[in-house]
Amino acid sequence: MSLETIQAIDVHAHFGKYCGAPFEIMNQWMSGSAEVVVQRACLAHTRLTMVSPLEALLPRLGGKPVLANTRAATVVAETEGLLQWVVVDPTQGQTRQQAEEMLNLPKCIGIKIHPEEHGYPIAEYGRALFEFASAHQGIIQSHSGEKNSLPADFVKLANDFPQVQLIISHLGCGWDGDLTHQVRAIQQSKHGNVYTDTSSAKSITSNLLEWAVKEIGAEHILYGTDSPLYFAPMQRARVWRAAISDRDKCLILRDNALRLFGRKLQREFSK
C-alpha cells in the first residue's frame, strides 16, 4: 500500500449542526451529518473517524451533552467507520455517570472535554476529570489553546496522573496568536502521556508540522481533521505532503492511534 492511500485514523471530528459562526451561511457550511463525515473521510483515505456530537458542545454554554451522547451512541453504532468520544462536562455531574456506562460500549473510545464551550477553566476542574479518567482507564481528548484550556495547565495534571493518556488537540491553536503552545506543553511532560493532533486550521501553516515533529517527535502527534468544520482531505494532504519521513507520516496518520487506543481500535480497524 502506498503512503498516499494508507488507511488513516482520524482521532478528532464531529457531526451535526454547527452554530458558532458569525453568519448563518457559515454555520451551514460547517455542519455535516454522520454520513457526510464518513463520505469526506473516504475522500481522505480514512478508515476510522472518532467523533463527538456538536449538540453536546454548542451553542456555547448551551450544549446538551447527556442527550447528545445518547443520540450519538445510536448513530455511531449504526454507521460503519465511526467511533465515539463521550462528552463529559464537569459542571453537569450526570455526564460523568453516563460516561461510566458508555465507556464500556464497543465503539466508545474515550472522554471528550471542552472547557471553552462548557465554560470552565481546566486549572480548576481538571483534577476531578483526571481522577475520573484514571479510575476508568479513559483517554482524554480536549480542546486546547484558549484561556480556559491552556496546554500548560493540562500538562501539570498529566504529570500528576501518568496513567492517563491526554490529547491536547488543535496543534497551533493559541488565544494569543502563539502557534507553539501544544508543543511547548508536551516538552514539559514527564511521563510521555501527552499528545496533540492536527485538527486546527493553524496546523496547515507552513513548517509548523515539520517543526513540531522535530521538537517532540511524530510519536506525539495524531491525525485529526475537525470534520465537518474543515474539509478532511485538506488535512490529510498536509500530512502526506509534509517534509517529514514516510515513517513519521505513517505514525501520525495511523500507527500512533493504533498504539494509543489498543485492542478496541484494532478490532474496528481490522473489520
Q: How far is CA 178 from CA 183, 201, 245, in A?
A: 11, 14, 26
What is the residue-averaged pLDDT of the chain? 97
Q: 48 forms bridges with which residues in the sheet?
A: 9
Which residue has 460516561 as its cell numbers? 99
Ranking 3-12, 147-156, 228-237 by mean pLDDT, the lowest is 3-12
Residue type, 175: W
Mean pLDDT to the nearest integer, 12-28: 98
Ranking 65-79, 85-99, 152-166, 254-268 by mean pLDDT, the lowest is 254-268
As given in the structure block, the three cell numbers for residue 3 are: 503512503
C-alpha–C-alpha distance, residues 248 and 266, integer Å: 20
Mean pLDDT to the nearest integer, 139-167: 98
Q: How far is CA 50 from CA 31, 53, 109, 119, 144, in A?
A: 16, 10, 8, 23, 17
pLDDT band at 3 (very low <50, low <70, confident <90, very high): confident
Mean pLDDT to the nearest integer, 233-256: 97
Helix and strand numbers (H, E) in the chain are 12, 8
What per-residue confidence (pLDDT) applies to 221? 99
Q: In the predicted model, is pLDDT for residue 2 greater than 90?
A: no
Domains and CATH numbers, the chain: 8-269 (3.20.20.140)
Cβ atoms < 10 Å from Cβ of 206: 9
Contact criterion met (CB below 8 Å) for 161 and 133: yes
C-alpha–C-alpha distance, residues 116 and 69, integer Å: 18
pTM given for the model = 0.97
What per-residue confidence (pLDDT) applies to 1? 57
Contact criterion met (CB below 8 Å) for 181 and 169: no
What per-residue confidence (pLDDT) applies to 183? 99
pLDDT above 90: percentage of residues in the chain = 94
Going by the DSSP 8-state scheme, the letter that residue 226 receives in this structure is -
Question: Nearest 5 degrees, angle CA 27-CA 45-CA 33?
Answer: 30
Q: Is the dihedral of CA 241, 244, 246, 251 positive or negative?
A: negative
Contact criterion met (CB below 8 Å) for 13 and 51: yes
What per-residue confidence (pLDDT) applies to 253? 98
pLDDT band at 261 (very low <50, low <70, confident <90, very high): very high
Among 125, 114, 2, residue whose Cα is nearest residue 58: 114
C-alpha–C-alpha distance, residues 151 and 125, integer Å: 14
C-alpha–C-alpha distance, residues 182 and 141, integer Å: 13
As given in the structure block, the three cell numbers for residue 13 are: 471530528
Mean pLDDT to the nearest integer, 229-241: 97
pLDDT band at 121 (very low <50, low <70, confident <90, very high): very high
C-alpha–C-alpha distance, residues 254 and 8, integer Å: 5
Contact criterion met (CB below 8 Å) for 24 and 57: no
Q: In the predicted model, is pLDDT for residue 266 greater than 80?
A: no
